[in-house]
Amino acid sequence: MLTKVVKFGGSSLADAKHFKQVADIIHADPARRYVVPSAPGKRSKDDTKVTDMLYRCYEMIRNHESADIIDAYYDNIRERYNGIIRELGLDFDISGELDYVKNAMTHASGRDYAASRGEYLNSLVLAKYLGFSFIDAENVIFFRENGTFDEERTNAVLAEELKKHEYAVIPGFYGSMPNGTIKTFSRGGSDITGSIVARAANADLYENWTDVSGFLMADPRIVDNPPPIETITYRELRELSYMGATVLHDEAIFPVRYANIPINIRNTNAPEDAGTMIVSKATGYDARRIITGVAGKKGFSVIHIEKDMMNAEVGFGRRVLDVLEDHDISFEHLPSGIDTMSIVVSTQELEGRRERIINAINRQVRADHVEIMDGLSLVAVVGRGMVKARGTAARVFNAVSAAGINIRMIDQGSSELNIILGVDEDSYEPALRAIFNEFVK
């Protein structure tokens, strides 16, 4: 029998109506054996996610706010779960669990413990509703002493545990430390849990159910009706999500990539949509389009360094990068000329230490001129089709220049999978639109 691991995001489990949709999806395919839920998310734009309520509650306890105020706030969390149970007509009393969590939070169980209970409680309800086993993530997902995820130990223990259950619910987002305390992944981390479970189950597919029908080719706030991406490789996805196209947690692809399991992004509210398939190697690409997607970000600066005969000076680049390393700054791109070197970094990283960095670079390499220029945005054009199609770069540059936009920087990744352009921030949206229209319309 096929095995699918299905992860449902918070918006897919925000209320009883969504629980029903989720159950329909799961029951529609017996291969959907292992379910990884998030905590209940927002029911409307102004609503608060349960995870955020738990963080807030934890802060209130730490700030020694009065017991009445904390109780009243915690009642809202209780009601999120009780409301779902009531509306589903489930014969399940979760009040003992809710009391226990509240008590543990009051007795210094830590911030991660508090946050993780959103997934824990939701999984209890969902397991009950589906009639599946419940496997607590704290017993099967492990972190090392230094806080990093322990993939070997997790995979061994989790794989054994899954074999004992034909159908099970495993809460997302958290695991345990060697001393037994609870630790969470970063925000949105249930995506990672889903991927870990898929690997341990040796699944045929990891379905990640959310509230959009996959990745779109571009940001719909900037271009009109961008089509969804049908198939994308892990590497293309890394490039696009690094540039802000976020549907899936950045780290979620590693466990499944390791095991060569495809991820299918699906929409709980439109289960008939095929969504986006994320695969290790795509057999082809859409020849009509060549590019897979275009994304970008604002908020970059360029550290521009000039020195005559720079190219003949062995170790120049290393000495400049040493300065960045000393300041714990990571750089994005490093386009260089014969006597110039530009380092693109996020403007935020320079905050409060511009002078120090300029002086340190001057000291290290005795440059003729060092200057920081702000207001750069980056646009990434990504596509496996670009490797084969000649003239793609020319089309990108022509489209941008025809829109009257000055290109301040060009960088082509060594894999030929992407072309990155640097343009002024106020040209960001027009540049993105120009490229999209060139390839998609």
Which residues of the chain form contacts with ligand ASP (CB under 6 A)? 10, 38-39, 49, 51, 118, 172-173, 187-191
Beta carbon nearer to ligand ASP, 38 or 123:
38
Cα gap 330→323, rounded to integer Å: 11
Beta carbon nearer to ligand ASP, 38 or 427:
38
Beta carbon nearer to ligand ASP, 38 or 267:
38
Residue owning tokens 């329909």 = 24
Beta carbon nearer to ligand ASP, 188 or 296:
188
Beta carbon nearer to ligand ASP, 73 or 397:
73
Cα gap 73→76, rounded to integer Å: 6
Rg (CA), the chain: 25
Minimum CB separation of residue 122 from ligand ASP in Å reads 9
Beta carbon nearer to ligand ASP, 12 or 154:
12
Minimum CB separation of residue 50 from ligand ASP in Å reads 7
Confirm if 256 and 211 have CB atoms less than 8 A apart: no
Cα gap 107→117, rounded to integer Å: 15
Q: 414 exposed, middle or buried (CB, 10 Å; 0-12, 13-18, 19+)? A: exposed
Minimum CB separation of residue 114 from ligand ASP in Å reads 12
DSSP category for residue 222: T
Minimum CB separation of residue 19 from ligand ASP in Å reads 16
Beta carbon nearer to ligand ASP, 143 or 285:
143
Minimum CB separation of residue 53 from ligand ASP in Å reads 10
The residues near 255 (Cβ < 8 Å, ≥ 6 apart) are: 151, 192, 195, 196, 198, 199
Minimum CB separation of residue 238 from ligand ASP in Å reads 19
Beta carbon nearer to ligand ASP, 7 or 235:
7
Cα gap 266→35, rounded to integer Å: 14
Count the alpha carbons within 13 Å of 287 in the hemisphere toward its beta carbon: 3
Minimum CB separation of residue 124 from ligand ASP in Å reads 15
Tokens matching residue 88: 């589903």
Minimum CB separation of residue 118 from ligand ASP in Å reads 5
Q: How far is CA 46 from CA 43, 58, 141, 243, 285, in A?
A: 8, 21, 33, 27, 40
- How many CB atoms neighbour CB 272 within 10 A? 7
Q: By beta-carbon distance, which residue lies closest to ligand ASP?
A: 190
Confirm if 253 and 279 have CB atoms less than 8 A apart: no
